[in-house]
Chains A and B, each alone.
Chain A
Amino acid sequence: MAEYAQAKRSDLPEGGSLSPHRLMLLVTVVQKGKGTFFSDYLQTFDANLQICVVGTGTARDDLVEFLGLKDNLRSVIFSIVREDRLDEIFQALEERFVTVNRNTGIAFTVPLSSVIGKLSYAFLSNERRLVKEDE
Protein backbone atom coordinates (compact mmCIF):
# COMPACT_ATOMS: atom_id res chain seq x y z
CA MET A 1 0.00 0.00 0.00
CA ALA A 2 2.82 2.34 0.96
CA GLU A 3 4.61 1.47 -2.28
CA TYR A 4 1.46 2.27 -4.24
CA ALA A 5 1.14 5.62 -2.50
CA GLN A 6 4.80 6.32 -3.19
CA ALA A 7 4.45 5.37 -6.85
CA LYS A 8 1.43 7.64 -7.29
CA ARG A 9 3.21 10.47 -5.56
CA SER A 10 6.14 10.08 -7.94
CA ASP A 11 3.70 10.45 -10.85
CA LEU A 12 2.76 13.93 -9.73
CA PRO A 13 3.90 16.80 -11.95
CA GLU A 14 6.39 19.36 -10.70
CA GLY A 15 3.71 21.46 -8.97
CA GLY A 16 2.74 18.42 -6.90
CA SER A 17 -0.88 18.51 -8.02
CA LEU A 18 -2.93 16.51 -10.51
CA SER A 19 -5.91 18.85 -10.41
CA PRO A 20 -6.30 21.44 -13.19
CA HIS A 21 -7.46 24.15 -10.77
CA ARG A 22 -6.49 24.85 -7.19
CA LEU A 23 -9.48 24.99 -4.85
CA MET A 24 -10.00 27.53 -2.09
CA LEU A 25 -12.35 27.80 0.86
CA LEU A 26 -14.02 31.19 0.57
CA VAL A 27 -15.49 32.52 3.81
CA THR A 28 -17.94 35.40 3.44
CA VAL A 29 -19.37 37.16 6.49
CA VAL A 30 -22.43 39.37 5.85
CA GLN A 31 -25.44 40.70 7.75
CA LYS A 32 -27.98 38.10 8.81
CA GLY A 33 -30.69 37.79 6.19
CA LYS A 34 -28.30 38.41 3.30
CA GLY A 35 -26.85 34.88 3.39
CA THR A 36 -29.22 33.47 0.78
CA PHE A 37 -28.60 36.36 -1.58
CA PHE A 38 -24.84 36.04 -1.35
CA SER A 39 -24.80 32.24 -1.58
CA ASP A 40 -27.05 32.37 -4.68
CA TYR A 41 -24.77 35.03 -6.11
CA LEU A 42 -21.63 33.02 -5.43
CA GLN A 43 -23.19 30.02 -7.11
CA THR A 44 -22.99 31.89 -10.40
CA PHE A 45 -19.19 31.72 -10.04
CA ASP A 46 -19.07 27.90 -10.13
CA ALA A 47 -19.32 27.51 -6.36
CA ASN A 48 -21.27 24.26 -6.14
CA LEU A 49 -20.77 23.56 -2.45
CA GLN A 50 -21.86 26.24 -0.04
CA ILE A 51 -22.66 26.05 3.65
CA CYS A 52 -24.43 29.00 5.24
CA VAL A 53 -24.54 29.29 9.04
CA VAL A 54 -25.58 31.98 11.48
CA GLY A 55 -22.85 33.59 13.55
CA THR A 56 -22.45 36.43 16.01
CA GLY A 57 -20.12 39.33 15.36
CA THR A 58 -17.95 40.57 18.19
CA ALA A 59 -16.59 43.82 16.76
CA ARG A 60 -16.83 46.61 19.32
CA ASP A 61 -18.78 49.77 18.76
CA ASP A 62 -19.44 51.07 22.24
CA LEU A 63 -21.81 53.90 21.27
CA VAL A 64 -23.99 51.68 19.10
CA GLU A 65 -24.04 49.08 21.85
CA PHE A 66 -24.94 51.71 24.48
CA LEU A 67 -27.87 52.89 22.38
CA GLY A 68 -29.13 49.34 22.04
CA LEU A 69 -28.83 49.43 18.27
CA LYS A 70 -26.32 46.65 18.02
CA ASP A 71 -27.25 44.19 15.32
CA ASN A 72 -24.52 41.62 15.65
CA LEU A 73 -26.04 38.57 13.97
CA ARG A 74 -24.18 37.50 10.84
CA SER A 75 -24.55 35.01 8.03
CA VAL A 76 -21.32 33.14 7.45
CA ILE A 77 -21.01 31.42 4.08
CA PHE A 78 -18.37 28.77 3.48
CA SER A 79 -17.94 28.14 -0.25
CA ILE A 80 -15.49 26.07 -2.26
CA VAL A 81 -14.29 28.05 -5.26
CA ARG A 82 -11.67 27.71 -7.97
CA GLU A 83 -8.61 29.89 -7.58
CA ASP A 84 -8.78 31.07 -11.19
CA ARG A 85 -12.21 32.64 -10.53
CA LEU A 86 -11.14 34.55 -7.43
CA ASP A 87 -10.42 37.83 -9.20
CA GLU A 88 -13.94 38.15 -10.54
CA ILE A 89 -15.49 36.82 -7.32
CA PHE A 90 -13.69 39.41 -5.18
CA GLN A 91 -14.54 42.19 -7.58
CA ALA A 92 -18.21 41.18 -7.61
CA LEU A 93 -18.34 40.81 -3.82
CA GLU A 94 -16.74 44.21 -3.36
CA GLU A 95 -19.50 45.79 -5.44
CA ARG A 96 -22.28 43.85 -3.71
CA PHE A 97 -20.94 44.66 -0.23
CA VAL A 98 -21.51 48.33 -1.06
CA THR A 99 -24.89 48.04 -2.75
CA VAL A 100 -26.52 45.20 -0.81
CA ASN A 101 -24.75 44.94 2.52
CA ARG A 102 -24.63 48.57 3.76
CA ASN A 103 -20.95 48.88 2.90
CA THR A 104 -20.02 46.11 5.33
CA GLY A 105 -18.97 42.50 5.00
CA ILE A 106 -15.73 40.64 4.82
CA ALA A 107 -14.45 37.78 2.71
CA PHE A 108 -11.27 35.78 2.76
CA THR A 109 -9.85 32.59 1.28
CA VAL A 110 -8.02 29.64 2.77
CA PRO A 111 -6.36 27.15 0.39
CA LEU A 112 -7.51 23.52 0.30
CA SER A 113 -4.55 21.18 0.45
CA SER A 114 -6.20 18.06 -0.97
CA VAL A 115 -9.42 16.50 -2.21
CA ILE A 116 -10.03 12.79 -2.70
CA GLY A 117 -12.13 11.47 -5.57
CA LYS A 118 -12.36 12.64 -9.15
CA LEU A 119 -16.11 13.12 -8.96
CA SER A 120 -15.79 15.12 -5.72
CA TYR A 121 -13.19 17.33 -7.34
CA ALA A 122 -15.32 17.75 -10.47
CA PHE A 123 -18.30 18.74 -8.33
CA LEU A 124 -16.34 21.17 -6.19
CA SER A 125 -14.68 22.83 -9.17
CA ASN A 126 -17.74 22.56 -11.44
CA GLU A 127 -15.46 20.97 -14.00
CA ARG A 128 -18.01 19.13 -16.13
CA ARG A 129 -15.41 17.85 -18.59
CA LEU A 130 -14.10 15.51 -15.90
CA VAL A 131 -17.44 13.71 -15.67
CA LYS A 132 -18.16 11.23 -18.44
CA GLU A 133 -21.72 11.01 -19.64
CA ASP A 134 -22.14 7.44 -18.39
CA GLU A 135 -21.00 8.34 -14.82
Chain B
Amino acid sequence: MEQSYELVFCVINAGFSETVMTAARKAGAGGGTILKGRGTAGRAAEELFNIKIQPEKEIVMLLVPAEIKDAVLRSIYDSAGLDRESHGIAFTLPVERTLGLNQAPAKEAAPEEKKTSKLNRTSKNGQ
Protein backbone atom coordinates (compact mmCIF):
# COMPACT_ATOMS: atom_id res chain seq x y z
CA MET B 1 0.00 0.00 0.00
CA GLU B 2 1.28 3.45 -0.90
CA GLN B 3 2.29 5.70 1.95
CA SER B 4 0.26 8.92 2.03
CA TYR B 5 1.73 12.16 3.32
CA GLU B 6 0.49 15.45 4.69
CA LEU B 7 2.32 18.77 4.63
CA VAL B 8 2.43 20.40 8.06
CA PHE B 9 2.86 24.18 7.86
CA CYS B 10 3.81 25.89 11.09
CA VAL B 11 4.18 29.67 11.31
CA ILE B 12 6.06 30.83 14.40
CA ASN B 13 7.99 33.79 15.73
CA ALA B 14 11.59 33.91 14.54
CA GLY B 15 13.95 31.81 16.62
CA PHE B 16 11.50 29.08 17.63
CA SER B 17 11.91 26.68 14.73
CA GLU B 18 14.00 24.33 16.86
CA THR B 19 11.17 24.15 19.41
CA VAL B 20 8.82 23.07 16.63
CA MET B 21 11.29 20.55 15.23
CA THR B 22 11.89 19.03 18.65
CA ALA B 23 8.15 18.68 19.21
CA ALA B 24 7.59 17.23 15.74
CA ARG B 25 10.42 14.72 16.13
CA LYS B 26 8.96 13.63 19.45
CA ALA B 27 5.80 12.67 17.55
CA GLY B 28 7.74 10.75 14.92
CA ALA B 29 8.40 13.33 12.20
CA GLY B 30 11.67 13.28 10.25
CA GLY B 31 13.32 16.40 8.83
CA GLY B 32 11.77 19.64 7.76
CA THR B 33 12.57 22.88 5.97
CA ILE B 34 12.62 26.31 7.58
CA LEU B 35 11.72 29.43 5.61
CA LYS B 36 12.02 33.02 6.80
CA GLY B 37 9.06 35.31 6.46
CA ARG B 38 7.35 38.43 7.64
CA GLY B 39 3.98 38.32 9.34
CA THR B 40 1.17 40.78 8.65
CA ALA B 41 -1.85 40.81 10.92
CA GLY B 42 -4.45 43.56 11.21
CA ARG B 43 -4.17 45.75 14.30
CA ALA B 44 -7.86 45.20 15.05
CA ALA B 45 -7.40 41.42 14.97
CA GLU B 46 -4.35 41.72 17.23
CA GLU B 47 -6.40 43.64 19.80
CA LEU B 48 -9.44 41.39 19.52
CA PHE B 49 -7.51 38.17 20.06
CA ASN B 50 -4.94 39.76 22.35
CA ILE B 51 -2.12 38.40 20.21
CA LYS B 52 0.92 40.53 19.50
CA ILE B 53 2.26 39.86 16.03
CA GLN B 54 6.03 39.92 15.75
CA PRO B 55 6.87 40.74 12.12
CA GLU B 56 9.81 38.34 11.77
CA LYS B 57 8.46 34.86 11.29
CA GLU B 58 9.74 31.43 10.52
CA ILE B 59 7.76 28.85 8.60
CA VAL B 60 8.52 25.21 9.26
CA MET B 61 7.38 22.84 6.50
CA LEU B 62 7.24 19.18 7.46
CA LEU B 63 6.23 16.30 5.25
CA VAL B 64 4.84 13.64 7.56
CA PRO B 65 3.04 10.32 7.03
CA ALA B 66 -0.71 10.92 7.21
CA GLU B 67 -1.15 8.54 10.15
CA ILE B 68 1.07 10.61 12.48
CA LYS B 69 -0.25 14.00 11.31
CA ASP B 70 -2.54 14.48 14.31
CA ALA B 71 0.17 13.50 16.78
CA VAL B 72 2.64 15.92 15.17
CA LEU B 73 0.08 18.75 15.18
CA ARG B 74 -0.81 18.07 18.80
CA SER B 75 2.83 17.97 19.84
CA ILE B 76 3.57 21.26 18.03
CA TYR B 77 0.48 22.85 19.53
CA ASP B 78 1.48 21.79 23.04
CA SER B 79 5.01 23.18 22.83
CA ALA B 80 4.68 26.04 20.35
CA GLY B 81 0.98 26.98 20.21
CA LEU B 82 -0.56 30.45 20.27
CA ASP B 83 -0.41 30.60 24.06
CA ARG B 84 3.36 30.08 24.02
CA GLU B 85 6.10 32.59 23.37
CA SER B 86 6.49 31.26 19.85
CA HIS B 87 2.84 32.15 18.98
CA GLY B 88 2.70 29.22 16.59
CA ILE B 89 -0.09 28.52 14.13
CA ALA B 90 0.01 25.09 12.51
CA PHE B 91 -2.13 23.58 9.77
CA THR B 92 -1.87 20.74 7.27
CA LEU B 93 -2.36 20.43 3.53
CA PRO B 94 -3.07 17.26 1.58
CA VAL B 95 -0.13 15.94 -0.44
CA GLU B 96 -0.99 13.96 -3.55
CA ARG B 97 2.39 12.88 -4.93
CA THR B 98 5.89 12.72 -3.52
CA LEU B 99 9.37 12.16 -4.90
CA GLY B 100 12.67 11.62 -3.11
CA LEU B 101 11.33 10.58 0.28
CA ASN B 102 12.22 7.53 2.28
CA GLN B 103 9.10 5.46 2.54
CA ALA B 104 8.84 5.92 6.30
CA PRO B 105 10.35 8.32 8.84
CA ALA B 106 13.56 7.19 10.55
CA LYS B 107 11.86 6.48 13.85
CA GLU B 108 9.27 4.08 12.52
CA ALA B 109 10.84 2.70 9.36
CA ALA B 110 10.68 -1.03 8.89
CA PRO B 111 14.07 -2.60 7.97
CA GLU B 112 13.00 -3.60 4.47
CA GLU B 113 11.55 -0.14 3.84
CA LYS B 114 14.80 1.53 4.86
CA LYS B 115 16.61 -0.29 2.08
CA THR B 116 14.39 1.17 -0.64
CA SER B 117 15.81 3.79 -2.95
CA LYS B 118 15.55 7.42 -1.96
CA LEU B 119 14.09 8.08 -5.34
CA ASN B 120 11.08 5.86 -5.01
CA ARG B 121 8.19 7.65 -6.50
CA THR B 122 4.81 7.19 -4.95
CA SER B 123 1.77 7.40 -7.14
CA LYS B 124 -1.17 9.55 -6.24
CA ASN B 125 -1.68 8.87 -2.62
CA GLY B 126 -4.95 7.31 -1.66
CA GLN B 127 -5.87 6.58 -5.25
Which residues in A have some Cβ–Cβ distance to B below 8 Å?
Answer: 24, 27, 29, 53-60, 74, 76, 86, 90, 93-94, 97-98, 103-111
- Of B42-50, B80-88, B91-99, the one touching chain A: B91-99
Query: Which chain A positions have C-beta within 8 A of B33?
Result: 29, 55-58, 74, 76
Given A94-B121, A103-B118; A53-B95 close (CB under 8 Å): no
* B99 in complex: contacting residue of A57, A58, A60, A108, CB < 8 Å: A108
- Chain A neighbourhood of B99, CB < 8 A: 90, 93-94, 97, 106-108
Nearest A residue to B25 via CB reads A60
Q: Is the interface of B mostly helix, strand, loop or mixed?
A: strand
Determine if B35 and A55 form an interchain contact, defined as CB atoms under 8 angstroms apart. yes
Query: What is the interface size of chain B, counting residues whose CB is below 8 A from a CB of the partner?
Result: 26
Supposing A59-B30, A76-B35 touch, asked if A111 and B96 sit within 8 A by C-beta, the answer is yes
Given A58-B21, A94-B119, A106:B100 Cβ within 8 A: yes
In the assembled complex, B41 has its CB within 8 A of some CB on chain A: no
Judging by beta carbons under 8 Å apart, are B97 and A60 in contact?
Answer: no
Pick from B32, B63, B94, B100: contact of A104, CB under 8 Å: B100
